[in-house]
Structure 1
Amino acid sequence: MTRSRRPSLHLSTFSIVGADPDAGDVGVAVQSKFLAVGAIVPWARGGVGAAAVQAFPDVTVGPRALDRLAAGEDPDAVLDALVRADPMASQRQTGLVAADGRAASHTGEDCFDHRGSLVGPGYAVQGNVLAGPEVLAAMATTFLDHTGPLAHRLLAALQAGQDAGGEKRGMESSALVVARPGGGYGGNHDRLVDLRVDHDEDPISRLAELLEVRDFHFDRTPPSAWFPLEGEVRGEVAALLRRGGWLDDHTALPAALMDFMGWENLEERWADDDHVDPVVLAHLRGVHG
C-alpha cells in the first residue's frame, strides 16, 4: 500500500481570537512565517464571533464556523461538528470565540510541534511550530492582563507570544482584524480594524505602527471630550483654517472645518457644527499653526 504524502502547505502560525462583549468587539491577531497570512487565517463577524484557521488550513472553516455561531450553536459544539466531518482534522488548527466570550480551540495531533491551544474567558490562543508552550501561556496572560480596546489587547498578546520565542521558523507576515456591528468606516459595516503586513522582517512591530495610524484617522473621541466651538477655541480654529486657506468670508466655519478634515482623512472624527474633536484640533495646529 502506498502511503499518502503529507501536504506541503502548513502555516507555522500563532494566533489569538478574542471578544470584548461590553464593547461588542470580536477579533483575531496572527503572525506566521508565511506570505500574507491575513488572507487566510483571520475571520470575524460583528455580533457573532471570530475564527482563526491555520496549520493545514481549510479556509472555508472560518465562514462555516461563524455561520453556525450565528445560528446559536456553542463554540465547542461548532468545532466538534466541523472536526468530526473533516478527514484532515488531525492536520488543522482552529480557534473560535463567540461575541459573548465563549471560546474553543482545536489542535490536530499531526500539527507540527510545538503545537497547542489554550482557552479562557473571552479568548483562545493556538499555534504550531512554536518555540515551546511558553508562547501560548504568554499570549493568554497578556490578553487577560491588558485593558483597553480589543485591537490593542490582541496585538499585545501577539507581541508577548513573539517575545516568548514565537515560531521556530521566524517571522514574515501578520494581521489584525476586529469586527463590531456598525463599527466600520461610514457606520454601515462591521470592519472596525482590518490591517495586514504581508511581508516584513518584523511584521508585528509594523502592525503596531499601522494600528497607531488607523487609530489617529478612524477612532472616535467620546462626545464628553469634545471641545465646544466657542470663545478662544472658535477663534483659534478660525484663525488656523484661514491660515491654511480653508476659511474665507463666504464659508461657514463648520463647513471649512469639515473640508479640512476630509482633506486630511479625518472625517470619521467629525463631531458636530458646535464642537471639534481634540485630536483634530491638535492636528490642525500641527499643520497650520
Structure 2
Amino acid sequence: MTFSVIGRCPETGQLGIAISSSSIAVGARCPWVRAGVGAVATQNVTLPALGSQILDFLESMKLDSQGALDRALSANEWSEYRQVTVIDGQGRTAFFSGKETLGVHHAVAGEQCVAAGNMLASVEVIGAMVPAFENARGMLADRLLAAMHAAMAAGGEAGPVHSAALKIAGDLSWPLVDLRVDWADDDPIGQLDGLWQAYRPQMQDYVTRALNPTAAPSYGVPGNQ
C-alpha cells in the first residue's frame, strides 16, 4: 500500500522523505522531518503521532534512531501494525515492520538512507531503492526521487499508486520542500517529479522572501512588488 525512502545529504545536512501510496493524500499522514533532528516515515496502518513522538525523542532526549524508535513503539499497544523508518541528524538509521504489516513487505538500510514498503509487487522493489539513492547525483530531492522511480521500475506496489509526497528540511524551522500529489489516476510519482522540477529554481527565492522581504524577487503577481 506504501513505499518510501528517507535520507540525509552529508554535504548540506538536509533530511528528507519521498513516499507514495495507493491511498489518498499520503503526504498528510506519513512523512515527518525536523531540521537537524531527523526524518521519520510512519506507514502501513499509519499512526501519524509516531512521527512527532520519534522526532521529539531524538531532539529532547538525545536518543539515536534505534533508541527513539524503540521508545515510541513500546508506548503504543498497536505497534505490530506499524511500519516505521527513522534517520537522525547524524545519518544513523533504524526501521521496524510489525508482524501485522500488510502483504509483501521489506525494509533496507543503506548509506544515510532507509527504504521500506508494504503491499509490494515483490521485495526487489525496496532492494532497488537503496542503490538508486546511493548512486544518484544532484540534490537530496533528486536522489530521493531517483529511488522512487527505481521502485516503480522494479514493480512498485501490488496495486495502483495514487498519491505521492516529497518533504525536505534544511536548516530552517519550516520545510525547505513540501510537495504533494494527493490523488492521481496516472503516475503520481512522475507528477511529483514535475512539481519538483518547477519548484527547484524558485526554492531559494521563497527562503529569501521569508528572511528578508526587501530582497524578495517579484513574480508579477498583482500587489507583489
Q: TM above 0.5, one fold?
A: yes
| 1:31 matched to 2:10 | no
- Code of the residue aligned with 1:47 in structure 2: it is G
Q: 2:133 aligns with which of 137, 143, 154?
A: 143
TM-score, length basis structure 2: 0.89
Q: CA deviation at 1:132?
A: 0.8
Q: Matched residue of 2:66: which SS? A: helix
Q: Matched residue of 1:21: which SS? A: coil
**Aligned counterpart, 1:193:** 177
Structure-to-structure mapping, 1:137-216, within 5 angstroms = 137-182=127-172, 189-200=173-184, 201-216=186-201
Q: CA deviation at 1:264?
A: 4.5
Q: Matched residue of 2:99: which SS? A: coil
The answer as to whether partners of 1:35 and 1:173 remain within 8 angstroms in 2 is yes
Q: CA deviation at 1:147?
A: 2.2
Judged with a 3 Å threshold, the aligned counterparts in structure 2 of structure 1 residues 48 and 102 are, in CA distance, closer, same or farther, namely same
The answer as to whether partners of 1:21 and 1:99 remain within 8 angstroms in 2 is no
| In structure 1, distance between residues paired with 2:133 and 2:220 | 33
| In structure 1, distance between residues paired with 2:27 and 2:195 | 14
Q: CA deviation at 1:21?
A: 3.0
| In structure 2, distance between residues paired with 1:143 and 1:76 | 22
Q: Note the alpha carbon deviations across 1:126-163, whole angstroms, 9 max, x for none.
A: 10000111100110110011122111101110111111
**Aligned counterpart, 2:55:** 66
- Code of the residue aligned with 1:203 in structure 2: it is P
- Code of the residue aligned with 1:192 in structure 2: it is L
The answer as to whether partners of 1:24 and 1:180 remain within 8 angstroms in 2 is yes
Number of residue pairs aligned between Structure 1 and Structure 2: 211
| In structure 1, distance between residues paired with 2:3 and 2:94 | 15
The answer as to whether partners of 1:29 and 1:154 remain within 8 angstroms in 2 is yes
Unaligned runs of 5+ in 1: 1-11, 183-188, 221-254, 266-289
Which structure: larger Rg? 1
The answer as to whether partners of 1:103 and 1:121 remain within 8 angstroms in 2 is no
| In structure 2, distance between residues paired with 1:264 and 1:212 | 20
Percent identity for Structure 1 against Structure 2? 36
Q: Matched residue of 1:105: which SS? A: strand
- Code of the residue aligned with 2:176 in structure 1: it is L
Deviates more, 1:61-70 or 1:16-25: 16-25
Unaligned runs of 5+ in 2: 206-213
Q: CA deviation at 1:171?
A: 0.8
Q: CA deviation at 1:24?
A: 1.6
| In structure 2, distance between residues paired with 1:206 and 1:148 | 19
- Code of the residue aligned with 1:263 in structure 2: it is Y
**Aligned counterpart, 2:210:** none
**Aligned counterpart, 1:102:** 92
Q: Matched residue of 1:82: which SS? A: helix
| In structure 2, distance between residues paired with 1:120 and 1:141 | 8
Q: 1:263 aligns with which of 202, 219, 223?
A: 219
Q: Name the structure, 1 or 2, with higher relative contact order (CA <8 Å, separation 6+).
A: 2
**Aligned counterpart, 1:132:** 122
RMSD of aligned C-alpha atoms? 1.7
Q: Note the alpha carbon deviations across 1:58-96, whole angstroms, 9 max, x for none.
A: 110000100111131010111112222222111110110
- Code of the residue aligned with 2:70 in structure 1: it is D
| In structure 2, distance between residues paired with 1:263 and 1:211 | 18
**Aligned counterpart, 1:218:** 203
